[in-house]
Amino acid sequence: MSQVISNAAARRDIEFHLHSQTNPLQFAEVGPIVIRRGHGARIYDSGGKEYIDAMAGLWCASLGFANERLAAAAARQYAELGFYHTFFHRTGEAAAELAEKLVAFTGMTGGKAYFATSGSEANETMVKLAWVYHAVRGKPGKRKIIARDRAFHGSTIIAASLCGLDFMHREFGLPAPGILHTLCPDPYRGMLEGEDEAAFVERLAGELERLILREGPDSVAAFIAEPINAGGGIIVPPATYFPRVQQVLRKYDVLCLDDEIVTGFGRTGSWFGKDTVGMRPDMMALAKGLSAAHFPISAVVIAPAIYEALCAINKQGGNFGHGFTNSGHPVGVAVALEAIRIYEEMDVVAHVRAMGHLLKTHFEGMARRSPIVGEVRGAGLMLGIELVEDKATRRPFAPQRNVGPTFDRIAYENGLVARCMGDVLGFSPPLIVDARDVDEIARRCDTSLRQLERTLGADAN
Ligand SMILES: Cc1ncc(COP(=O)(O)O)c(C=O)c1O
């Protein structure tokens, strides 16, 4: 680390830069990792060391870390119109085209697409629209939002409140009032002794229904979920979970909000995660893969009923008093359109299914060999490996043994960027990986896992 820290950028960074999701004191001591350039699924640090980033950065660089076509699309748009907004009836041709594409792609026929600039803003927008929807239908008391334990929905105040992760709340006095949480559908950790999947789903649906009844159905506006939890540890719900949960939501007139910020645009082996898990949302939040993270742009796609509610406020003399300076930024929409063209040309869904299958097969081989791989799970190129102390009983390692972070450190030394979420190792590589990249991710992962096993064995003795 000291060789990397010795350059001027690192010193400046320590002195002036406050980092996201970073312990400030540890950062001041250890310093930054300076990433200088990218090529395909690979990144290179300031010392020239190469890594495969098997997390696509933050689940987002779906087309790798330097894409010439995206750069050219941005350059063309910058040369013509580097900024304009979408307030007060303004638009651009690309914004209109992207909105049409998103409505068609998501299957929200008759609906609309709204643009924002981050995933958190998209989720906050869905919450505000849910409030409007109920208010104009004469139910202004329906304002509470139900999220799930271990969810991640962003960092602004409501989005952070929606998270079901203590580290997003603790220092900030969150969650905000009116944000509730229900159980996470994690079959590996959540199923009780003797419970099968059907009984597990019934119990989760029953818990949700009891929560709605306890709070009062007239106070509950919406339920929000990632089709497959990302930051909470790659959690794939049982196939009947969303259909059953949505029966409960419909019974109490509670909207279903779909956070597709990680799972959208091919990541799970379908265009959207909702299709992988059988979810039928009223609104969808899109970001990350929308522009392959080459520009900060997000979107909310809404069903016609939500749009009709908005029109109703207009008829009552009101306005949609919402918007971000960079909503529908011309460069952002140009980059997103180009990203979607590339996804279509590469047949992203088929490619992700094939590469995801290959990577999962490698991981399943490791699970058979390794004494500490409890489960391999996920869909498409969104895979998790859960490490456990005892495979038979699923007993986890004690948190103070820092097993996940130790894997991350070893993998990093071996030129592999993964991401531990507790003791779940997350893999969400750029969707452009080919079979050789996948084999190399698996090779570096296996080497790192064997080193970790030796370290833990040595610890145990
Ligand atoms: C599922 C999910 N939703 C929302 C967000 C928030 O997106 P942003 O960081 O762009 O605000 C993230 C970020 O990782 C996410 O993983």
Q: Do the Cβ atoms of 178 and 157 come closer than 8 Å? A: no
| pLDDT band for position 10 (cuts 50, 70, 90) | confident
pLDDT for the residue numbered 315: 77
User: Using CA positions, which residue lies closest to atom 3 of ligand 1?
Assistant: 153
SS3 content of the chain, % helix, strand, coil (to 5): 45, 15, 35
Q: Going edge to edge, which strands form the sheet with 35-39?
A: 35-39, 42-45, 50-53, 416-417
Whole-angstrom Cα distance, residue 153 to residue 151?
A: 6
At residue 271's C-alpha, the angle toward residues 331 and 150, to 5°, is 95
| pLDDT band for position 1 (cuts 50, 70, 90) | very low
Q: For ligand 1, is residue 226 a contact (CB within 6 Å)?
A: yes
Hunting for tokens 């869909």 — which residue is that?
Answer: 379
Q: Do the Cβ atoms of 66 and 42 come closer than 8 Å? A: no
Distance of CA 54 to the CA centre of its chain: 15
Q: For ligand 1, is residue 58 a contact (CB within 6 Å)?
A: yes
Output DSSP code: residue 451: H
Report the pLDDT averaged over residues 365-381.
Answer: 98
| pLDDT band for position 5 (cuts 50, 70, 90) | low
Q: For ligand 1, is residue 117 a contact (CB within 6 Å)?
A: no
**pLDDT tens digit string along 285-304?**
999 999 999 999 999 999 99
Q: Rounded to 5 degrees, what are φ and ψ at 257?
A: -105, 130
Is the model's pLDDT at 318 over the cut of 80? no
Whole-angstrom Cα distance, residue 134 to residue 276?
A: 29
Dist. CA 395 → ligand 1 center (Å): 30
- Compute how many other C-beta atoms are within 10 angstroms of the C-beta atom of residue 203: 15
Q: Which two tokens stand for residue 227?
A: 């089709």
Whole-angstrom Cα distance, residue 181 to residue 211?
A: 9
pLDDT for the residue numbered 458: 46
Report the pLDDT averaged over residues 390-399.
Answer: 96
Report the pLDDT averaged over residues 203-211.
Answer: 98
Q: Which of 89-93, 343-347, 443-447 has the lowest mean pLDDT?
A: 89-93
Whole-angstrom Cα distance, residue 103 to residue 95?
A: 12
Is the model's pLDDT at 13 over the cut of 90? yes
| pLDDT band for position 324 (cuts 50, 70, 90) | very high
Which of 118, 120, 123 is the best mutation target for the ligand 1 pocket, counting ligand atoms within 8 Å of the beta carbon and taking the most?
Answer: 120
**pLDDT tens digit string along 46-86?**
889 999 999 999 999 999 999 999 999 999 999 999 999 99
Report the pLDDT averaged over residues 439-459.
Answer: 92
Q: Which residues, in sequence order, are bridge partners of residue 114? A: 300
